Structure 1
Amino acid sequence: MPKGYDANVSYLDDHELVSSFGTVRSNFESGDASLYRACEWGQIRRSHDTEVGGRVVGKRAAVGSQAILVPPTSSAVHPQDLAGRPVAVNFHRGSHYLALQALEGFLPREEIKVVHIGGPQQRFEALRDGVVPAAALMEPWITVAQKQGYQILTEAFYVGSEIASPEVDTDTYDALNRAVVKAVRKLQEDPYPYLHHLIGEVPPEIDAELKPSDFPRWRLRFVDPAPYPEDQFRRTFDWMRSWNLINEDGSTYNSLVDNLLPFAALMLVSGTLAERWGRGRVLRAALAAFVVATALCAAAPTMELFLTARALQGATNAFTTPLLVAAISDLVAGARPAKALSWFAAAQAAGQGLSPLFSGVGAALDWRLAFLVPGLCGLLLVCFPPSRSATLRATTARASWRSLANRQLALACAVSFLAYLAAVGLTVLAVLRLNDRFALGPVGIGLAASAFGIAGIAAAPPTGRLLRTRGPRYTGLVTDVAMVVGLLCAALGTSLPVVVAGIVLVGAAVTGLRSATNALAVTSAPENRGGAASLALSAQFFGGAVAATVWLPVYHALGDRGFALVAVVPVLSAVVLTLTGAVGGRSANPAARDLTAVPPRGR
């Protein structure tokens, strides 16, 4: 990036015309550099755009600041005075993103105008020469400008992060961080002996007398490098998407997407394999692996290890959930399976709805605490696993792949996919709307989202009765209607109670749909209940995995109307259930296991 501003080159106002790696040859993409530090937002965008496998590996030590300044003669005295006026930034760098975040606290988004000038010296010179009325600057240019009478309208500090290429191994990165920590200690003690590095960026013709004592101490902040926590990534990534600063292609570290895709793919086969290997031993092994994976997530020193541990968590779940559905169906007799399946669905809804509350509160203290509750729950289950009798199969027949090819299971998979496409759409978009419309923070959003899980628990008794008396198809139709109403309330409600009521309705509806699809699945293949349950659950999680990719662009393009379009999905589900007629029948009660029979070997 050339330092001087060329007055013959007009500025750009479309960030898509500028590469996130800059307008000149990128040392990182060309392989000349393997690691570099920059602003948090830009690094997320670069890890998305990279062609050499670059990934964000941690937070940097330097805590930067950017200020929006105006010339001494400017009539602007506060950020509101910049409505509709161009502010010079460097697209896909800290000045770009911080200017947007700083100004949107004072102005509607449509009145914020940022334009690409280039690096900090170019922006200062464009401001000095009257090309732009305001510019976002960082040190040393904030101090240079203030010395010459320029006025700060707003200033903020921001997080930086580090992006590394795949050849940077853990040992190398750890060694670099040890050196950085030593440097941080020296800078925290006294940064002034090192400010000649900043001063050297300013040409003498702009300020020949710049000296270390000109810099205020409070603006020079340095902290130890640290991992980049998931909750912070999610918040930043969602904000970037809301400004269309990153493509909507599912390239997200959001656990809802990254962890569900391998989970869903593995579930295509996990249920049948587990039925063949033995439910008890598979459940015990999967629970132990989940505890190990959760501990690795909390202790992971690098992003690569963290993502690997998250994938392992998903893999362990693929071998537990379908077996639990199958075991419930084999264990209980008479009218009890409908009630048991509805309570199991309620427990799933509770976990989905309450996890943001526990994780949000824990992560507010330390990102590693987000894994405390699931880790403790997993450890408890390892110490007190299901009994041998609870995991026995009702049949001695070998679990067959062929038995899974039937219309009833296909119906269960279709409804399951649609249910989660809508339900996860609600959980993703409700978070954005609660923040955008009602300015709720992480704890407030977590409390509102917890209504989803609470409603799921409360819906278990009526769902069980409905499933027992009217069957899974009718239960699915009723809960699809409830989901439509809930989605419209959450999407279009003008008051917080109405939105929360919508979340409650959807939470209750999800319990009904889970119960209905599980009942359809396990009764479709009695000799391979685990395999049938895992196929239906795989469809469910595939629906959840694509939900963010499907609905976020719609929401950002159409706002509340885009959110409301999610209600089309349960309508489609109801149409599928209606057109299938008697498929699935009225019975949700599979034949119970004869507990007096000799148990099959190896189970």
Structure 2
Amino acid sequence: MGKFVIEAHFRLQEWIAHEKGYFTDEGLDYEFRELIRSSEGKHHDKGDKQGAFQSFEKGRTADVSCACHWTINVAAAKGHGRMAAEVYSVAPAGIFVQPDSKIKRPEDLAGVPISVGYQSGSHYATIQALEQFIPQDKINLVYSTGMLFARMDKLLDGSAPAANLFNGPYYLAEQLGYRKILDTTFMIGMMIHGSPDPEDLRKYYAALRRAQRDLDLRPEKYTHYYLKEFPEKYHAQMDVRRWGPGERLVFEPYSKEVFEESRDWIASHGIFPDGNLGTGGYEQATVSVR
């Protein structure tokens, strides 16, 4: 078997584990790849209606990759990998508007174009959070072809009246004074690709658990890693000392009940226009990582 391939997923834990030697301490023979900053953020640029789910259809190169749990759920059921059954993460996210916007309440977002990523976390999370306040037919989603950074850029340059942002972009918008109208925090799942050695998976997650403990204890020591995730053009605006720890790993089961309830919600909201959510059940779509 070749080296275990790790790609940073726009969160801090992989950077902590890599630079503090936790992967090595666990005995993991690995290759660490960074794709966001080195590509000036273009790694996230997609075509029309090309989002997180489509990236799984095309194939991902890391042994473990991540996306919102809704997309991972369907992608695994369609055979594009197997979902880690015993760990997920939770990302801070929210719908932001311009500092001087007349939009003050979630109800004010009725009919307003909201920039999200197609079949990505921001897509599902915006509907899930907003439907408490406005009818679904008044939720006006605009799919950003550039996903994460392009969506943030449209908010910052004023071309998008509202955008759903998570993790680093969430903190930058907050720091710059953009107004958060609604929290849309959501779960992120982990997809296992190919057939990595189960012992390598155990080592990988053991290192991440150590990194999560460090982040919980002293978050201010590690927010500088956001600079490794953002292209240099943003650095002059960023004061990462003011930012929070971001996505948090939760070493608890993504259970069969959660799997099935999530699929019911996706189906009832027509996220996949063809209605095809895959035929793989929980046992076929998930794998143990312990």
Instruction: Determine if the TM-score, normalized by the shorter chain, exceeds 0.5.
Output: yes
Aligned twin of 1:68: 95
% identity of equivalent residues: 25
1:38 has 2:67 as partner: yes
Aligned twin of 1:96: 123
Which AA in structure 2 matches 1:303? T
Which AA in structure 1 matches 2:162? A
* Distance in 2 between residues matched to 1:239 and 1:229, nearest whole Å: 15
1:78 has 2:109 as partner: no
Deviations 1:19-74 (A, max 9, x none): 5444699552xxx3222122111211322445xx4111235454211110001121
Aligned twin of 2:29: none
1:222 has 2:248 as partner: yes
Deviation at 1:200, TM superposition (A): 3.2
Deviations 1:307-353 (A, max 9, x none): xxxxxxxxxxxxxxxxxxxxxxxxxxxxxxxxxxxxxxxxxxxxxxx
Aligned twin of 2:203: 175
* Distance in 2 between residues matched to 1:204 and 1:254, nearest whole Å: 41
Q: 1:86 to 1:38 in 2, by over 3 A?
A: same
Equivalences for 1:36-435 in 2 at 5 Å? 36-50=65-79, 53-58=80-85, 60=87, 62-117=89-144, 118-216=146-244, 220=246, 222-246=248-272, 247-248=275-276, 251-253=279-281, 303-304=286-287
Which AA in structure 1 matches 2:255? P
Deviation at 1:113, TM superposition (A): 1.5
Deviations 1:375-431 (A, max 9, x none): xxxxxxxxxxxxxxxxxxxxxxxxxxxxxxxxxxxxxxxxxxxxxxxxxxxxxxxxx
* Distance in 1 between residues matched to 2:258 and 2:92, nearest whole Å: 18
Deviation at 1:143, TM superposition (A): 2.1
Whether the aligned pair in 2 keeps the contact of 1:127 and 1:133 (CA below 8 Å) is yes
Deviations 1:467-515 (A, max 9, x none): xxxxxxxxxxxxxxxxxxxxxxxxxxxxxxxxxxxxxxxxxxxxxxxxx
1:18 has 2:50 as partner: yes
Q: 1:222 to 1:127 in 2, by over 3 A?
A: closer
Q: Which has the higher helix share?
A: 1
Equivalences for 1:560-599 in 2 at 5 Å? none
Q: 1:226 to 1:24 in 2, by over 3 A?
A: closer
Whether the aligned pair in 2 keeps the contact of 1:64 and 1:160 (CA below 8 Å) is yes
* Distance in 1 between residues matched to 2:288 and 2:242, nearest whole Å: 43
Pairs aligned (count): 246
Q: 1:4 to 1:200 in 2, by over 3 A?
A: closer
Gaps of 5+ in 2: 1-35
Deviation at 1:241, TM superposition (A): 0.7
Deviations 1:113-146 (A, max 9, x none): 1111132221111122332210001122122212
Q: Which has the higher strand share?
A: 2
Which AA in structure 2 matches 1:46? A
Secondary structure of the structure 1 residue equivalent to 2:266: helix
Secondary structure of the structure 2 residue equivalent to 1:226: coil
Q: 1:146 to 1:167 in 2, by over 3 A?
A: same
Compute the RMSD of aligned alpha carbons.
3.1
Secondary structure of the structure 2 residue equivalent to 1:140: helix
Deviations 1:544-588 (A, max 9, x none): xxxxxxxxxxxxxxxxxxxxxxxxxxxxxxxxxxxxxxxxxxxxx
* Distance in 2 between residues matched to 1:37 and 1:4, nearest whole Å: 17
Gaps of 5+ in 1: 259-301, 307-603
Secondary structure of the structure 1 residue equivalent to 2:251: coil
Which AA in structure 1 matches 2:224? H
* Distance in 2 between residues matched to 1:151 and 1:305, nearest whole Å: 41
Secondary structure of the structure 2 residue equivalent to 1:137: strand
Deviations 1:55-101 (A, max 9, x none): 11235454211110001121100111111121111112211111111
> Which structure is larger by alpha-carbon Rg, 1 or 2?
1
Aligned twin of 1:494: none
* Distance in 2 between residues matched to 1:20 and 1:206, nearest whole Å: 23
Which AA in structure 2 matches 1:239? W
Whether the aligned pair in 2 keeps the contact of 1:80 and 1:107 (CA below 8 Å) is yes
Whether the aligned pair in 1 keeps the contact of 2:167 and 2:247 (CA below 8 Å) is no
Which AA in structure 2 matches 1:242? S
Q: 1:67 to 1:59 in 2, by over 3 A?
A: farther
Which AA in structure 2 matches 1:33? A
